[in-house]
Amino acid sequence: MQSKDKKLLAVPFSALLILASGCGILQTKNKGQKSRENDSALSGKWENACSKLDWLGFSYHRTSLSFSSLGDFDKTTNLYSDDNCTAATATLTEHGTYSSLGDAQAGSGSQNINYTISEAAVSAVSDSAVRLFNAVSYCGISSWQVGQATDVLDKPCAGAQHAKGAVIFDIYKVDNNGDRLTTGKGSFFLDKSDASSRPSKLDEVYVFTKK
């Protein structure tokens, strides 16, 4: 065997793996899998109607959901003191990635979806919310201020806790020519069910429409 061939055989297998990864040889499969987990029907912004709420003294809420074509999601729950959802009191936001995983056991055309949380924050946008949050030390914090977004990852928040990388198991269905979105869970902040428990049916009360 020539000296040049011996040198090639002496290259560690791990180094060849790194080289293959850098050249994109091993990345193609992962990229293709992630692409299949991004449902184009979800892409865009969705919003539900102003709804009654009974949580920490807040009376109404409205939630918006945004999905990107790259697999990111943003979920914003706005809390209000009036039934027209005009007098804002607080905002709950969640950000991360999602994976659409195919047909759900719930049937009726529903799909399984997993949300992976990477960011979670709460903002008090009214003096009444500040007073309430501070009174109960919401999320273990007693120094809330108006308009200040506070990171609440890994903090206990009235029975709900967001750990970085936590996975929320849900179901969804897009119908009405792509303009109607139904999910199984409400706001991740306000929902007291086990994050790893996937709903068995769609929630027809809090329906989202495409904006």
- The pLDDT score that the predictor gives to residue 34 is 55
Q: Is the pLDDT of residue 49 over 70?
A: yes
Same domain membership, residue 67 and residue 21: no
- Alpha-carbon gap, residue 88 to 60, rounded angstroms: 9
Same domain membership, residue 124 and residue 29: no
Q: Which domain holds residue 16?
A: 3-34
Same domain membership, residue 78 and residue 7: no
Q: Is the pLDDT of residue 36 over 50?
A: yes
Same domain membership, residue 53 and residue 134: yes
Same domain membership, residue 206 and residue 185: yes
Residue closest to 191 by CA, chosen among 160, 169, 168? 160
Contacts of 36 (CB under 8 A, 6+ apart): none
pTM score: 0.79
pLDDT of 149-185, one tens digit each? 999 998 888 767 778 898 999 999 999 999 999 999 8
Residue closest to 157 by CA, chosen among 130, 206, 191? 191
- The pLDDT score that the predictor gives to residue 26 is 38
Same domain membership, residue 17 and residue 107: no
